[in-house]
Structure 1
Amino acid sequence: MEQTFNNKQKLILLLKIFIPILITQLGLYSMNFFDTTMSGKAGANDLAGVAIGASLWVPIFTGINGILMAVTPTVAQLSGSGKIKDIPLSVIQAIYLSLLISIIILVIGMIAIDPILNQMKLTKEVRTISKHYLIGLGFGIIPLFIYTVLRCFIDALGHTRVTMMITLLSLPINIFFNYVLIFGKWGFPRLGGIGTGYATTITYWVILIVTLLIVIKAKPFNSYQLFRNYYSIQIKYWKDLLKIGVPIGFAVFFETSIFSAVTLLMSEYNTITIASHQAAMNFASFLYMIPLSISMALTIVIGFEVGAQRYLDAKAYSFLGISFAILLAFCTSIFLYNFKIEVASFYTNDPRVLELTAQFLLYAILFQMSDAIGAPIQGALRGYKDVNATFIMAFISYWLIGLPTGILLAKFTVLEAFGYWVGLIIGLAVGAVTLFWRLRYIQTKKFKQDAEISIA
């Protein structure tokens, strides 16, 4: 990371950080895509079992991952302020915290997995596959969360290309072990959908080992000497991380779980409607990787500038990132409007599903515009370490405004299933507008603090 002096330099640096993050996010998205499609090749029960298991795991993973994302603004601000010696201690404390969280998740999983699955109306085969898929995945929780901490450390220093390369390395590893474990190739047992859980675990261990080697051996990370000194557990640092991380985790959880809730509510409609909704939502999630990646890039650059107390530069990055996201959303919206049938054909050949998916994709255009404002603002606020407003607004906008509005529109208007999408769009828009004013308030507050310090 380095200081920039004009908007051109800022845009170049933002792009250098954003593009590898986008490729990384698309790589992670692809991993889930291959898990699903390859399980489907093994059979309908395998596909259903993996889908159920993933639906239970993803909200938990994204929530916990959000907590550990506190490492990014913490390290970025320490780097910007020149407090380099404090970085190793903060990262090691985050690793300790990730180990504790991993153990808690594993214990809860051992106790709760059977009661939860038994409450669902699943066939014995699907229930068994779901359970053992989650068990297989459980062996990878510890390396996954440690890797998340190290990834945030690397990204916070501006070296997002490194984590991009690690993610790209993980894809062929995951696909290979999916292939040999799902279908029982080259002497491996044929595990069906269960094999994706173990394949994912193997992948997590490999990328953790690779990341550790990079952090220990490669420049500039080896200069921080993360593992050279022993650090005892220091609750103060845990409190600081949790103070930032817990609101981030809950905000991400509220955001991901609302879409699961809508999918469950969609079960009252026919199979064609459900399939069309799922296909359109899948592509909308794919496009969301763009504003999400801009959001993550803004957290890094703004955290760096705030740490250096260059608040004018931090503000410039905020509006540069938001403007860039809106421009890209405008481009993807034009693409989606003109090629909605072609996009829908990626998911189905059924003419009825094709037509309805195309209609849902029109609503996805409005998703893009709301996300283009809301997601970057969330990233900017995290760069300022202002996370409570995002957490509160995620709950209010999604669960108190978006979902109830969607239910009312679906139940009592001609929109029917589309009503849920309109409700989500309204919730996203309310959240985006509210967070925009929060960002303006934080920026004004920082300027006043800076002026008072200068006068003193």
Structure 2
Amino acid sequence: MFADVRKIAALAWPVLIGQLAIIAFGVIDTAMVGRYSAVDLAALGLGSSIYVSVYIGLTGILTALQPITAQLYGARRYGEIGEEVRQSWWLAAALTVIGFLILFFPGPLLALSRVPDALHERTLAYLRILAFGLPAGLAFRVYGSVANALGKPRLVMFLQIAALLLKIPLNSWFIFGGFGVPALGGPGCALASTLLNWGLAALGMLLLVRVDDFKALGIFTRFCWPVWKRQAALLRLGIPMGLSYLIEVTSYTFMALFIARLGTTTLAGHQIAGNIGAVLYMTPLSIGIASSTLVAQALGAHRPQAARTLSRHGIAMAVAIACCYGALVLVLRPYIVDGYTTNAQVAAKALPLVLIVAGYHLFDALQISTAFVLRAYKVAVVPTVIYALALWGVGLGGGYALGFDTTGLTPPWLTGARGFWVANTASLAIAGVGLLVYWQVVSQRHLRAGAGARADSAV
């Protein structure tokens, strides 16, 4: 077990550092905009929820490249990887058009929140700026998928850390103004992120050209048009993967849209709790990505028993660390909230939600680590169904019923934002257990298939 844990940790820590650098974008945005105005902080919470839903849903489709590449790499079929990367860029271009239109014209989504006009305008400006950074974000995701699949996450991490170092001064400049630039507030941090996304994309492409590990893949050896057979293979895996990402994120996004009806202060408190949950999420996410890479490479090399063992150890590792994180949040939550806001009313709304986050994170770790392992097996349809039933049905539907007391039976302490968070925690528990049971079925199926293949070869 310890050998597997070391392998997973060796890949997971650079992914974690890189992911924390990216999630720090949101932490920095929240902390800096929170000191600009409560209205801008609420607009940031609402706008970022919509943007993340679009971005994660689209990049989730592109993430299909990672298990495909990792299995090809495990099978030593390097030449095919370059073709898969070129096809992924064509897919990214098509997805960019869809995402840009949603972000630049978000009226139908904003209408669900019924927010005041001032908040509506700030959110609209925030999303329209981010729309211009979406193409770069999708291009960089292709680069990240290739690097992670080859077991080279440090090549992604270094770029993400560099972007973080630039994020703070750019945020300060655009949010608060200076050197001829007016104070933009919340939309200012969107402008900083957009510029950094284009920088990351440019550097990622440069590394694909110059780094020896990528040269053997022949990514830039020739130009190609979309090959519909390969596009179909990417979409067969990518669409359910993207949908599962979308379900996971929109369960949170629509929670934010509904909580917006409860007022700006409540929404700001929810934004703080959500941001803490997102920071904690990065560790099991990183373990899941690392485990997925090793599992896919083992499957490509026709070692199903090794893949099953690596899967089990990766999931256990993610859950164990989540327990430690939950205990820390319980002890430190007043100090954590104080670091986000100086507004006593916002802090009072955030504290009970952060308490729920401690338990929420445990089930979040279980579901995301198991989901990534299943993706290494190129399995995505059944997990998507599990996500839909649990996160949309129990999480969002149950949260609406509790938060707005639609039945008249909800206890007072469970109404409002707390009701949404409790229901979302229950939905993650259901999803995590369901995915774990399904992984047992899938991994056993591969073991039997591997045993059958060995028997045939012996004959």
Q: TM-score, with normalisation over the residues of structure 2?
A: 0.90
Contact 2:39 2:264 in 1 (8 A): no
Q: Displacement of 1:268 after TM fit?
A: 5.6
Looking at structure 2, the residues matched to 54 and 258 of structure 1 have their Cα atoms a distance apart, in angstroms, of 14
What per-residue deviation string (whole Å, max 9, x for no partner) do you get for residues 382-413 of structure 1? Answer: 01011111111110011122333334444223
Instruction: Please tell me whether residue 58 in structure 1 is matched to residue 48 in structure 2.
Output: no
Q: Which residue of 1 aligns with 2:425?
A: 425
Which one of 67, 78, 90 corresponds to residue 73 of structure 1?
67
1:197/1:226 Cα in 2 relative to 1: closer, same or farther (>3 Å)?
same
1:183/1:330 Cα in 2 relative to 1: closer, same or farther (>3 Å)?
closer
The farther-off stretch of 208-217 and 126-135 is 126-135
Looking at structure 2, the residues matched to 298 and 245 of structure 1 have their Cα atoms a distance apart, in angstroms, of 19
Q: Which residue of 1 aligns with 2:207?
A: 214
Contact 2:79 2:218 in 1 (8 A): no
Q: Which residue of 1 aligns with 2:219?
A: 226
Structural mapping, 1:429-440, within 5 Å: 429-440=429-440
> Could you tell me which amino acid in structure 2 is paired with residue 450 of structure 1?
G
Looking at structure 2, the residues matched to 113 and 364 of structure 1 have their Cα atoms a distance apart, in angstroms, of 29
Looking at structure 2, the residues matched to 389 and 267 of structure 1 have their Cα atoms a distance apart, in angstroms, of 32
Contact 2:112 2:258 in 1 (8 A): no
Contact 1:341 1:355 in 2 (8 A): no
Q: Which residue of 2 aligns with 1:413?
A: 410
What per-residue deviation string (whole Å, max 9, x for no partner) do you get for residues 284-324 of structure 1? Answer: 22212111111111211111111111111111111111111
Q: Which residue of 2 aligns with 1:370?
A: 363
Q: Displacement of 1:172 after TM fit?
A: 2.3
Contact 1:216 1:225 in 2 (8 A): no
Which one of 337, 340, 345 corresponds to residue 347 of structure 1?
340
Contact 2:79 2:216 in 1 (8 A): no
> Could you tell me which amino acid in structure 2 is paired with residue 239 of structure 1?
A
Looking at structure 2, the residues matched to 109 and 348 of structure 1 have their Cα atoms a distance apart, in angstroms, of 28
Looking at structure 2, the residues matched to 145 and 271 of structure 1 have their Cα atoms a distance apart, in angstroms, of 32
Contact 2:45 2:271 in 1 (8 A): no
Which one of 375, 378, 394 corresponds to residue 382 of structure 1?
375
Q: Which residue of 1 aligns with 2:280?
A: 287
Paired residues in the alignment total 449
Instruction: Please tell me whether residue 96 in structure 1 is matched to residue 85 in structure 2.
Output: no
Q: Which residue of 1 aligns with 2:160?
A: 167
1:120/1:339 Cα in 2 relative to 1: closer, same or farther (>3 Å)?
closer
1:253/1:224 Cα in 2 relative to 1: closer, same or farther (>3 Å)?
same
Instruction: Please tell me whether residue 87 in structure 1 is matched to residue 84 in structure 2.
Output: no
Structural mapping, 1:265-414, within 5 Å: 265-267=258-260, 269=262, 274-348=267-341, 354=347, 357-410=350-403, 411=405, 412-414=409-411
> Could you tell me which amino acid in structure 2 is paired with residue 12 of structure 1?
R
1:115/1:337 Cα in 2 relative to 1: closer, same or farther (>3 Å)?
closer
What SS is found at the alignment partner of 1:229? coil
Contact 2:371 2:383 in 1 (8 A): yes
- Structure 2: tracts of 5 or more residues without a match: none
Looking at structure 1, the residues matched to 322 and 373 of structure 2 have their Cα atoms a distance apart, in angstroms, of 18
Q: Displacement of 1:37 after TM fit?
A: 3.5
Q: Displacement of 1:177 after TM fit?
A: 2.8
Q: Displacement of 1:127 after TM fit?
A: 4.0
Q: Which residue of 2 aligns with 1:455?
A: 455
1:178/1:323 Cα in 2 relative to 1: closer, same or farther (>3 Å)?
same
> Could you tell me which amino acid in structure 1 is paired with residue 139 of structure 2?
I
Instruction: Please tell me whether residue 256 in structure 1 is matched to residue 262 in structure 2.
Output: no
Looking at structure 2, the residues matched to 229 and 362 of structure 1 have their Cα atoms a distance apart, in angstroms, of 54
1:215/1:432 Cα in 2 relative to 1: closer, same or farther (>3 Å)?
same
1:36/1:370 Cα in 2 relative to 1: closer, same or farther (>3 Å)?
closer
Q: Displacement of 1:121 after TM fit?
A: 4.8
1:192/1:403 Cα in 2 relative to 1: closer, same or farther (>3 Å)?
closer
Q: TM-score, with normalisation over the residues of structure 1?
A: 0.90
Looking at structure 1, the residues matched to 259 and 376 of structure 2 have their Cα atoms a distance apart, in angstroms, of 36
Q: Displacement of 1:193 after TM fit?
A: 3.4
Contact 1:76 1:303 in 2 (8 A): yes
> Could you tell me which amino acid in structure 1 is paired with residue 144 of structure 2?
R
1:107/1:404 Cα in 2 relative to 1: closer, same or farther (>3 Å)?
closer
> Could you tell me which amino acid in structure 1 is paired with residue 415 of structure 2?
E
Looking at structure 2, the residues matched to 49 and 336 of structure 1 have their Cα atoms a distance apart, in angstroms, of 26
Q: Displacement of 1:48 after TM fit?
A: 4.3
Q: Displacement of 1:243 after TM fit?
A: 0.8
1:210/1:442 Cα in 2 relative to 1: closer, same or farther (>3 Å)?
same
What SS is found at the alignment partner of 1:224? coil
Looking at structure 2, the residues matched to 282 and 250 of structure 1 have their Cα atoms a distance apart, in angstroms, of 22
Looking at structure 1, the residues matched to 342 and 106 of structure 2 have their Cα atoms a distance apart, in angstroms, of 36
Looking at structure 2, the residues matched to 441 and 347 of structure 1 have their Cα atoms a distance apart, in angstroms, of 43
> Could you tell me which amino acid in structure 2 is paired with residue 21 of structure 1?
V
Structural mapping, 1:18-33, within 5 Å: 18-33=12-27
> Could you tell me which amino acid in structure 2 is paired with residue 387 of structure 1?
A
Looking at structure 2, the residues matched to 263 and 184 of structure 1 have their Cα atoms a distance apart, in angstroms, of 29
| RMSD between superposed Cα atoms in Å | 2.5
